Structure 1
Amino acid sequence: MIRQRGRVTAALFSAVALVAVSAPVAAAGGTGGARHGEHGGGASSVREWLDLLVEEDGVPGALAHQGRRSVTAGTAEPGSGRPMVGAEGRFRMGSNTKAFTAVAVMRLVADGRLRVDDRAGRYVPQLADSPITLRQLLKQRSGLPDYAGLVDWEKPLSDEGYLGLVLREDPLFEPGAEWGYSNTNYLVLGMVIARASGTDYRTYIERTVLEPLGLEDTYWPGPGELTLRGPHARNYGIHPLHPEQGRTDVTDLPAYEFFGASGGLVTTPGDLNAFWDGLFGGALLPRWAVRQMTHDTTDVGGRDVYPRGSRYGYGVASIPLTCGGRYWGHGGDLPGVSVGGGRATDGRGTVTVYTTTVAAQGARLAHLQGAVDAALCGRR
C-alpha cells in the first residue's frame, strides 16, 4: 500500500479502496466482481458477517447500523476490554465525502450559480486551458491522474499545490473518453465550490448539507487536528509516515491537510445514514437534481471490484443487491477504516457498516460487503 517512506499511494483513498468497498456482491479478491449473489464465507446474517470480520480476518472492531439498531463485533481497542462503539462513535468516512461534495455542486447548479457543462477552468485558473467539465469531474471521467499517488505525507500542500503535482503528469485519457476513479476530480470540485459560492467548500457544505439535516456529529477536522472528537474506536493499519512499523495505531491522521473534499469528513453511523435518507428523500436538492445525479451514470460493472450492473453517477454509485433491487451510496477507505453502505431502493432501508482497519480486499472485503447486503436484504 505504501510505495516508500513519506508517500501514500492512490490505494489509500481511491477507486478500489473508497468506492468498491460499498459493492455488496463482488468476489473476494477478484477482479470485475462476482456473479450476482456470491459472497463466500458461509454467513447469512449481519451478525455472522461481522463475526467473520473479527474472528477470521483479524479486524479489531466492526459495526453495522440500520434504523435505531446497531450490531457490533470485536472491541473498540484491543487489550482494553472496551466494547466496540455504537451509533454514537465517530469515524473518518473517507470517500463518502465525495457524495457531500457532489450535493454541494448540485446545490449551486440548482441555484443557477453553476452548470454541469461549465468548464472547470472557468473557476480554477490552473485548468484554464483544459476542456474538462464539471460533469466529467462529478462522474470520474476527466482523465486527471490521482493526486493520492503523488502526495508526500511529510510535506502537505494546498489544494492548488496538489493539483500542480497532477498537472505535471500525463493525463490518463482524454476528458470524457473513459471512466477512471481519481480523487483529484473532487479536489478540483472543492475549488470550484469555493469560487462559485464565495466561501470555502468546507463552510459551504456545512451550511447547505450538515446544518439543514442537523448532522451535529459530522465535521471537518481543523488544521493540525489529528485525533477524533468525542467517542470513537481506535483504528489500526499501516501509517503512511511509518510503514516499517507494520500494523499500528493510525487513529490520529492529518485529514485537513491531505483528504479534503475527496475524503476529509468525520461522522457517525447515525449521521451518515441520515445523510443518505436526506439526499434521496428530497431534503437537500430538488427532485430533478437528485434524478440527474442518479440517472446520468456510467456503467462500471466488471471494473475494479464492481459487480455487473453497478453504475457511477455524481458522487454516488448504485450497487445490485442479492435480494433484488439495488442501493445507492459510495464507500470509503483510509488507513485504519473501511466504510460501506447507503440507501436501498424499494424501501429496504439505509445502513452504514464500518471496520476499524482497512477491509478493501480479499476476505475482509467480501465480509464487509456481505454485511451491507444482509442488512439491506433484511437478514439481521
Structure 2
Amino acid sequence: MRTRKSRRLVAGSVALALGAGCLTAAPVAAQPDGGHTGDHADVQAVVDGFTARGVPGAMVFAQDRHRRWTVSSGTGKLGVDRPIRPWDRVRVASNTKMFVAAVVLQLVGEGTVGLDAPIEQYLPGLVRGNGYDGARVTVRQLLQHTSGMADYISDVLADPDANNHPWRPEELVELGLSHPPLFDPGTGWAYSNTGYIVLGMLVEAVTGNDVGAEITDRLIRPLGLWQTTYPQAGDKRIQGPHAHGYYAFPGQPVADVTELEPSLPGAAAALISTGPDLTRFVRALLAGKVLRPDLLAQMLTTVPAEGPDYGLGIREIPLPCGGVAWGHAGNMPGYDSFTAATHDGRSAFAVANGHLTNGDTANVRGAVESALC
C-alpha cells in the first residue's frame, strides 16, 4: 500500500483543489423541455446570476407529475454557444452518497448488514489506531456522519499527484485516520467522505462485488437510470454527451478539469449522472420503490447537522414556500449540483459547471428550492 502521510503536501497544486476561479460566460435564454413552455423567471434569474458572477454555465431541470421543464444560462463548454442540457452527464459528486446509503440499507433489509452493528464486525482492523476503534463505530453512524471520523479530502487536494493514478480505498481511509477523531462516535456531527469510503468497502466485503457493480445492479438498472454510471478506476473521461467542468487556479488561466481519476472520490462521490436520472432516483426512493417502508423511515430519520438536518445519506430540506424536500448536494472542482424531491412528486436538479469568481460555490440548493416552489 502506498502511504502519503509522510509526504510534504503542497496546497492548491492539484486539479482538484478548491478555491477561487475566474470564469465568464454570457447568459442564454430559458430552454423548455418536453414540449412545455412557461414562465420560470425566478429560476432563470437564479441561474443567470451564477453566470453573471463567473460560472461558465448552469442548468435547472424540474418536473412534477404532469410536466417537466428546463432553464439554462451560459455554456456547457467554453468557446461553444451551447447551454447545458438536461441529458448532459456531469460528475454529481456527493449525490453518490444517496445511492451508497440505499444499497447499504437494502443489505440491512436482507439481513446481511446490521444498521447498529460495529464496522469492526465487517472490516476487522480497518478502523483502528490514532484514537479510532471500529468496535465503537456503527454502520448507522457512518451513514449519518456521526462517527467522528476525520475527512481525507484535504490531504488528497494538497497532493500534486493525486489525479494521476488510481487509489485503493484503504489508502483513502488511511489518510482520513491519520487525523485524530473529531469527537467520540455518536456525540456530534461532521461531514466525512472517509466514512463513505468505508461504507463502500463494507458493501464489497459482504457482497464480494465492487460497490459500483452493486449500485448498478440494485439501483441503476432496475430504475432505468441509463445515463448514470459508476466509473471504474482509471476511467477518467465522461462518456457520452456531457458538460465540461472548469476551474481556475489563482494566477492561472481557466483549466478544463472534466477528466478525473474516479477512485479518488470513490464511494463518497464518483457517480456520473444527469438531471432526469437523479430526479427519477429520488422520486422512486421517496415513493417506496427502493427500500422497505421501515428502512425508508430509518433513512429519513434525521439529526441536526451543518446545513439541513441529515438522515442516512440524505438531507431534509425545508422549502421557503412551506413543506420539505429530500435530497443531497454534490460539490467538486468543476461541478456543483443539488438534487431534491418532495413526497407529492415534485423534483428538481441544478448544476453549475464551475466556481464563482469570489471562490464561493454556486447556490444550486437555492435554484432547486426556487424550482420546487
TM range (shorter): 0.7 to 0.9
Gaps of 5+ in 2: 1-9, 20-39
1:166 deviates by 2.2
| Maintained 8 Å contact 2:16/2:332 | no
1:157 deviates by 2.9
For residues 121 and 159 of structure 1, do their structure 2 counterparts lie closer, same or farther at Cα, with a shift above 3 Å needed?
A: same
Q: Which of the numbers 326, 350, 353 marks the counterpart of 1:356?
A: 353
1:349 deviates by 0.4
TM-score of the two chains, using structure 1 as the length reference: 0.81
Residue number in structure 2 paired with 1:245 = 252
Residue number in structure 1 paired with 2:94 = 95
Higher RCO (CA-CA < 8 Å; seq separation 6+): 1
For residues 180 and 364 of structure 1, do their structure 2 counterparts lie closer, same or farther at Cα, with a shift above 3 Å needed?
A: closer
Aligned length: 329
> What is the RMSD of the two structures over their aligned residues, measured on CA atoms?
2.2
For residues 4 and 71 of structure 1, do their structure 2 counterparts lie closer, same or farther at Cα, with a shift above 3 Å needed?
A: closer
* Letter of the structure 2 residue corresponding to residue 76 of structure 1: G
Q: Deviations over 1:150-194 (max 9, x none)?
A: 223515531011112222321111111110101011000000111
Residue number in structure 1 paired with 2:25 = none
Inter-partner Cα distance in structure 2 for 1:263 and 1:360: 24
Relative to total residues, which structure has the larger helix share, 1 or 2? 1
Query: Is 1:222 the counterpart of 2:232 in the alignment?
Result: yes
Gaps of 5+ in 1: 13-42
1:369 deviates by 3.1
Query: Is 1:334 the counterpart of 2:332 in the alignment?
Result: yes
Residue number in structure 1 paired with 2:167 = 157
Pairs within 5 Å for 1:1-380: 3-6=11-14, 45-54=42-51, 56-67=52-63, 68-81=68-81, 83-125=82-124, 126-127=126-127, 129-130=133-134, 131-151=136-156, 152=159, 154-155=161-162, 156-238=166-248, 245-255=252-262, 257-295=263-301, 297-300=302-305, 303=306, 306=307, 310-345=308-343, 347=344, 349-358=346-355, 365-366=362-363, 368-377=364-373
1:96 deviates by 0.3
Query: Percent of pairs identical after alignment?
Result: 35
Residue number in structure 1 paired with 2:37 = none
1:370 deviates by 2.8
Inter-partner Cα distance in structure 1 for 2:50 and 2:73: 8
| Maintained 8 Å contact 2:57/2:83 | yes
1:44 deviates by 6.3
For residues 289 and 153 of structure 1, do their structure 2 counterparts lie closer, same or farther at Cα, with a shift above 3 Å needed?
A: farther
| Maintained 8 Å contact 2:229/2:272 | yes
Q: Deviations over 1:41-87 (max 9, x none)?
A: xx961111111111x21211111111232111111222222x21311
Q: Deviations over 1:109-165 (max 9, x none)?
A: 001111111110111121264211101101101111101112235155310111122
